[in-house]
Structure formats: C-alpha cells, structure tokens
Structure 1
Amino acid sequence: MTPTIARAWAVARRDGMVLGFTDHDRTLMFEGIVFRPDSGLSARAVVQSVGLSVDNSEAVGALSDTAITERDVMAGRWDGADVRLWEVDWTDTGNRHLIFRGHLGEVVRSGAAFRAELRGLSEPLNKAQGRVYHPHCAAALGDGQCRFDLTRAGYWAEGVIEMVEDGQRLVLSGVDGHDPGWFEHGQLMMRLGAAEGLSGLVKADRPLPGARREVELWTALGIGPAAGDRVRLIAGCDRRSETCRMKFLNHLNFRGFPHLPPEDWLIAPKVNR
C-alpha cells in the first residue's frame, strides 16, 4: 500500500441520511459525499474470502453530537444501514477501489462509543430458503402475501400516552371500542415525541374505564416515550387460521396449513384395523 492511500466509508441509513468518514487527516470528497476525518469512525480489517462465505468486520467509533449520536443509536436508526468502504488515493480521489459493500448489523452502545458488526453482501445466504409447512400463517400482517389493508376502520387506533411504567407498560387515553386483547401481537407506533418513528410489539393490552387502555410491550423502545406523546396501535394477529377467518375476514389469503397433523401424531401408536 502506497503512503497516499487512505480508507473512506460511506454509511447510508434507511431514512436517507448519508454520512462519510475517513482515516485520513483531511476531508475527502467524491461521489457527492463529504468524508470527514473528525467523526470518529474506524474499523478492523475486513475479512474476505473466495467463494460464498460471508465477509465480516466490525466498525467502532465515538458518539458525537454532529455524526452518530447516542439518541440515534439507542433508537436503532443505524441498524441495517448500507455501508461502502474504499481504499482511495487522497492526492487523486478518482483513483480509488471499492473493497467492501454490505450493511451494519445491530449497533450497540459501549460507554461513550458504539460498536457494530459489518455484514457482507453474502450474508442473506445464511437465511433459510424455501417454504415452511406449519399450521400457522407464514405471512406478516399486511404484507404482500397477507394483502390485508391495515388502514381499514376498526383495525387501528390512535391515542395519547397518559403514563409510562418501566418503559414497557403504557396507559393511553382516547382509545375505545375495541375488545380486550385486540392489539395483542400487534404494533405500537410512535407518532409524536422524542421517540417518533419507533415501534414496538404489543405483548398485552386491556381496556380501562374512560376510553383508556393499558398496553404492555415485549421490550422497551430505544428512546423512552413520555406522557403527552401520540401513538398508533395496529391490531394484532397470532397467525392462527381462526384469527384470520374471524377477526380479519381474510382466510382466502391465509398462508398456513391448519389441517396438518400435530407433531405427536408421528410417534402416536398405530392401531391395526
């Protein structure tokens, strides 16, 4: 490697924000991106191999108010961000070579810094391929297979947070007219407040007197909601055939196999007749 070679990173979040970083001591610019030397991002050596094995590395950096902030890390806004890494001649940025393309894994905070796994383009090859035959539906509510319209009246509701306990149990006002458990297995989406844009999975919900509702999340949001924040609740689906037919009236799009025999059928004693 010649003395004029530096490394430059471009990280593009899913919301469209793009930031550039470099280990050079001066700002570089190419492909319309400004690569700053003072943002505190660095990485270990990229491990690459011939064939279809997964490239891997790890990015580390310092949290700052101008680049990667603690609030964004805790909110998960950097998770899954697209990453490109070049070796570039800082005397002539046109002389560069792309050596890595992939995305960030989960970004976690470690003191005043962050740490994130870099996953190469071959990472999806680790995922199971093909269809799973199971009594429960394999589709996600509202996706291209399910085709259910989540904007239909009665299947969503908006309310305002009255109280938050432990970051997971919320009391909402303005939510009325839904059966107990209607939103279990569904989503809570933050519409206004510091946590706007974040969402969590609903573990349990029950109506309270006065058009109020208590909702419990499986895990707390990365940024804690506060009283006065506005939220939207999406009806939940437990992926059972009965739920699809009776609650959503969508059984034609059910993507499960409800008539499969149970697992213990394989080991049950056979009776000769």
Structure 2
Amino acid sequence: MSRAIVAAPDWLTGEVATIAWLWRIVRRDGVMLGLTTHDSPIRRDGLTYQPSPGIRPSAIRQRRGLAADSFTIEGALNSAAISEATLASGRWDGARLTLAVVDWQKPAVAESVVAEGMLGSVTSDGARFSAELGARDIWLDGPLVPETSAECRAELGDVQCRVALAPRTHRAVVTARSGDLVTLADAVGGWNWANGLFPFGWLRWLDGPGRGLWSAIIDQNGAVLTVAEVPDGAGQAGQQVELTEGCDKRAATCAARFANIANFRGEPHLPGMDLLTRFPGG
C-alpha cells in the first residue's frame, strides 16, 4: 500500500474539488470490480466503476520511510459481486486493491492513487463488511536473511525451487464427497493414484459454486483426497478439478522424486538445538 507521497494534482488543490473515490479490486481468480462513491458510473481504462456510496475507507495514515501504512475498508453489501456468500467462501481474501480519487467532472484526467495493497481476511456482520489492507512492502518487516531449517523453505514450483509444475498438474472429476474427503476419477489419464503425489499439494475447483477457489490437500488414500476446506456447494459428482502435486519439503524427497537437490533450500544436516537429546549421552 505504501507509495511515495507526491504533490496533489492541480484539480485537487482548487477552492472547490469535485472528488469521487475509485476502488479497483482484482480477485485472485481474475474477477475485476470497480466501485465509486459518485452517484453515477465512471468509465476509466476499460473498467466501469459502479456507484456504491456505502463503501468507504477508514482513516488513512501514510508515513515516510519504511513503516507500513494502515487502512481499513468498510462498506455495505450492496453489490452482487460482494455478497455474504462470496465473503464467507474467501473469494475476496488476498485480492489486490487500488484506491484513488478522480475529478468526476473530468474523468479523463489522470487519477491520484492514494493507496495500493492486498486485502487481508474479509469479514461480514449482517449487511456490512470490513477488510484490512496489507501494505505492498510489508515483507520489509520479515527477517533480513533466511532462517535455517531442516526442511526446504521454498514452495514447490517457485523461483527458488524451479521445478516445473505444468507436467505435475492434472485434471480429474469428482465422483463423491463426504465431509473433507473428496473421491475423484481419472479424467485425462497419465498418472497412478497409488503413487501418492498430491499430499501437501492443491486442488482447484474448475466449475460449480466453488469455481476458481483452492483447497489444500492434506492427505491421499488412492483416489480419495483429504482437503483442508471445501467451498459451499463444491464436491458434487461430475465437477471437474485441477490437482497440483505436493512436496513434503524433505531432502530425500527432493533428491529422489524431483531430482532437484541442487535447489534444496534447507539445512538437513546442520546440528539443531536438540543435538544433545538425539543420542544417549555417556
């Protein structure tokens, strides 16, 4: 969310400013939503911002330096896209948001971006919702150097791991669901259910009410997967899913299964705090 604090544009420094707030929200599944506090739609950069006077920002604090800004969004559930059901399903968690002001009498004039960032957990209370905006540079609060660990610190397929996920991504069809157990049937072939490829991986729902959402895979027993959470309405027979293989982050798995030990981001042989208790003393 942090940006360099720049001088206000000319149209914002006049005696009377015709200001409208613009909210551009992009969900993780690619859905883009534009909202404005103005009483009429505003068209900018190919996106129509629909009137939503009930949505507003909290007090915005911008600081010079590396300190993170603070920002909370509050609003009424008056949009079909932002409904209690979509909030409960987590569709808006992690969405990218840009907050800007524009002269609604001259919408073609460049907007003034006030804040950018990523939405944290979104909660609803009756007909209202609230969400905190995380700063883009919040990673600056993290450690300066990686901490040592026996397990790999990389995520399968990221820039540190470098394992290609395309050949490790598969399609399947749901045949049954019971609680957090999802039974699948091979949709395209090409892998063996008995190999146990999917624990610690991800399941993405491709159709139905949960379309576009992800569920973490906890365990696998043949074609039956245990997932962390199933979206409402998902898991019905016939629905298609996409499976991404997982990794338990052990050095042995990295070497034997992925042949990727050169990119292993861990220290499995470094003595830890429990060194004296690993073997009997004498």
TM over 0.5, shorter chain: yes
Alignment match of 2:33 (pick from 19, 32, 38): 19
Q: State the partner residue of 1:244.
A: 254
What is the CA distance between 1:218 and its match in structure 2?
Answer: 2.2
The runs of 5 or more residues in structure 1 that have no matched partner are 208-212
Q: State the partner residue of 2:213.
A: 198
1:113 aligns with 2:123: no
Q: State the partner residue of 2:18.
A: 4
Q: State the partner residue of 2:9.
A: none
Question: Helix, strand or coil for the counterpart of 1:260?
Answer: coil
Q: State the partner residue of 1:169.
A: 181
The runs of 5 or more residues in structure 2 that have no matched partner are 1-14
**TM-score normalised over the length of structure 2:** 0.78
Runs of 4+ with deviation above 4 angstroms? 266-269
Alignment match of 1:100 (pick from 106, 115, 123): 115
Alignment match of 1:215 (pick from 215, 225, 229): 225
Q: Matched residue pairs, number?
A: 264
Alignment match of 1:48 (pick from 41, 62, 67): 62
Question: Helix, strand or coil for the counterpart of 2:139?
Answer: helix
What CA deviation, in whole Å up to 9, does each residue of 1:7-44 have, x standing for no partner? 33222334444332222333334444433223742221
Alignment match of 2:87 (pick from 70, 73, 81): 73
Question: Helix, strand or coil for the counterpart of 2:92?
Answer: coil
Question: Helix, strand or coil for the counterpart of 2:193?
Answer: coil
What CA deviation, in whole Å up to 9, does each residue of 1:94-145 have, x standing for no partner? 3853322223222233333332112233323223332222121121112222
Give the Cα–Cα distance (whole angstroms) in 1 for the partners of residues 34 and 117 of structure 2. Answer: 15
Task: Note the aligned Cα RMSD (angstroms).
Answer: 3.2
Moved more, 196-205 or 16-25: 16-25
Question: Helix, strand or coil for the counterpart of 1:263?
Answer: coil
**TM-score normalised over the length of structure 1:** 0.80
What is the CA distance between 1:200 and its match in structure 2?
Answer: 1.5
What is the CA distance between 1:250 and its match in structure 2?
Answer: 2.4
2:101 partner amino acid: E
